[in-house]
Structure 1
């Protein structure tokens, strides 16, 4: 089941909504018993998405503060002492007010700037939805223990309705808030989880304000969408090459047939391994008629990759850079989840994506017959 919630989605912000020349002032108030001098850490992420420490403050009388100048609004995190958990917020020029209970960081209130107000509103609605999910799960568990099948069935139906409500909330937020940076992150998350089609994502992205499009998350999403455009149905599949299991190099152009399936998979990917028997069946049935398959593995260990090829009887061409999702071919084709597949005609034009089971065989038969 696809994950619908991504409540700690990263944030950044458009320069036009709160980036003055006077810098930022972050004032925090903590409730609950807390030792004087407890450290508060201000952190963000680097280009590799790793947390880096930016500044440190100490708690005095339940208060702390940070001040400085932020060139571009960006998602930052507050960490309290050595405890677990953090508070995400948008660090941008302006006066930011943060209040929280020392044992309930996830319920922190952050306000004072436009983007933090938007982010806080999104977080609050998300928390309410999550609490409803948790309550419903508890009720289902209790009913199940009491073997109350009627109640379980009723709650299961309500649970599915709530899932749909949560999904629609995340889809509608970027539609209704094209000026919010959170919208760019939500939309990227929806595309990565395949909740929305690439065309739907592109349609929503085009409604965003220029500031959002030019922000850090906006530019990242634009790069992904550019890759999507390059691999849309009707375009010629981008060329690539990579090492084979025996150490040679194989290019897509060398592996093409009358019909070609580019299959992104990995030994560790259970859904991929479950789909492999179907691909084997289709390959055995149509290879002599012109079907070729080239498997692009997103494994990290050559041993695992080679063992899976042998175990699953995958007798077609295989290549891998052994870099998981950092594989340049995966990035070229904007692969964020596997299994993923592209079906090409005799001219190398993409005619279908992510076909499985009977749908794959039907399309291959149509192209070859």
Structure 2
């Protein structure tokens, strides 16, 4: 079952400044984990770094760390048993002066630290309050994972109906988890952990700026003014520039023929600004829908500017995909992959993505997929 992680979160502060202090986590775990190495990470995923490590001796360990700001952390262990790797992890919220105690009386099946308790950390207690609410869903999810794993261990899955039924139920649980998490956040806007939930949900670009801003405004000033709060406010501000009724930022880039084209060259038309790439399977699958809309509305003051996020040196693959997919509209690219200046300007972190602009260059819709593009064009083009 997917556990709640606060990814994409920078180091944050509850107070304007902290003097660097020593903090610690004392651990008590089953003796079966003796001689294993336990790690303390700051952050999560690709944003994490090791703060300390220690060897488990007599069922105990001690981790020391020095930080200046409050941040997410994780205590982790990895065990190799009968050539099979098992891991344990425990999300904690670190502050510069906490003296935590982590206790694991019984190792969990999917997560060795699943049954752990933590004392000595007010903010981790907030996180645990949410986990208590999510526990029934997590338990159901673990049960489904166990059933799916049994099916996967067989050389051939014979009960495909049951297999997909399990995945469907798992997806339903994920949606329930999301709804309960959002409910917790809205009911506890005085919790710092709720700000962490909000920030994770914002991603790298906020799609619903007014709605997210309204939630953010409910947090106390002290939380909004924290480093994480300031980060959220800056992201909201930047995202608002790409919101509905905002003029799309202008840019210029090279066409496949080596000429320079600007977005504003198409001013006066309805324009679909389409971010894609030759290597992007979902983009290529979406292209037939875009072609259909283009053929239907091109003679009615509608045009398209495709912005490719192809890799350096991949101009041939870019132009080959244009020809193969029948993309007979305007195209530009700086061939910088995810480092594309245009992608950064539009806060693009996944593709396909698109923006529909009116003749004044204002954004009137975003991420129109499938038949949604044609349906929107039917409404605005008469």
TM-score range, shorter chain: 0.7 to 0.9
Contact 1:242–1:319 (CA under 8 A) maintained in structure 2: yes
1:109 maps to 117
Contact 2:37–2:78 (CA under 8 A) maintained in structure 1: yes
The residue correspondences of 1:144-293 to structure 2 (distance < 5 A) are 162-192=173-203, 197-293=208-304
Q: Structure 2 vs 1, CA of residues 234 and 321 (structure 1 numbering), >3 Å: closer, same or farther?
A: same
Asked if residue 60 in structure 1 is aligned to residue 44 in structure 2, the reply is no
Q: TM-score, normalised by structure 1?
A: 0.80
The residue correspondences of 1:68-147 to structure 2 (distance < 5 A) are 68-80=65-77, 84-92=87-95, 93-100=97-104, 104-136=112-144
Give 1:345 shift. Answer: 1.2
- Whole-angstrom CA distance in 2 between matches of 1:147 and 1:60: 46
- Whole-angstrom CA distance in 2 between matches of 1:96 and 1:322: 49
Which region of structure 1 is more displaced relative to structure 2, 298-307 or 259-268?
A: 298-307
Indicate the SS of the match to 2:67: coil
- CA-based RMSD of the aligned residues comes to 4.0
Q: Spell out, residue by residue over 1:191-226, the C-alpha distance to the aligned partner (whole angstroms, 9 max, x if none).
A: 449998443222212212334334444333333322
Contact 1:42–1:54 (CA under 8 A) maintained in structure 2: yes
Contact 2:101–2:118 (CA under 8 A) maintained in structure 1: yes
Give 1:342 shift. Answer: 1.2
Q: Give the one of 14, 39, 42 matched to 1:41.
A: 39
Indicate the SS of the match to 1:78: strand
Contact 1:13–1:180 (CA under 8 A) maintained in structure 2: no
Indicate the SS of the match to 1:352: strand
Say how many residue pairs are matched: 362
Contact 1:179–1:211 (CA under 8 A) maintained in structure 2: no
Give 1:154 shift. Answer: 9.7
- Whole-angstrom CA distance in 1 between matches of 2:88 and 2:309: 31
- Whole-angstrom CA distance in 1 between matches of 2:363 and 2:206: 22
Contact 2:41–2:52 (CA under 8 A) maintained in structure 1: yes
Q: Structure 2 vs 1, CA of residues 262 and 247 (structure 1 numbering), >3 Å: closer, same or farther?
A: same
Contact 2:204–2:347 (CA under 8 A) maintained in structure 1: no
- Whole-angstrom CA distance in 2 between matches of 1:266 and 1:159: 31
5+ long unaligned stretches in structure 1: none
Which region of structure 1 is more displaced relative to structure 2, 312-321 or 239-248?
A: 239-248
- Whole-angstrom CA distance in 2 between matches of 1:77 and 1:60: 20
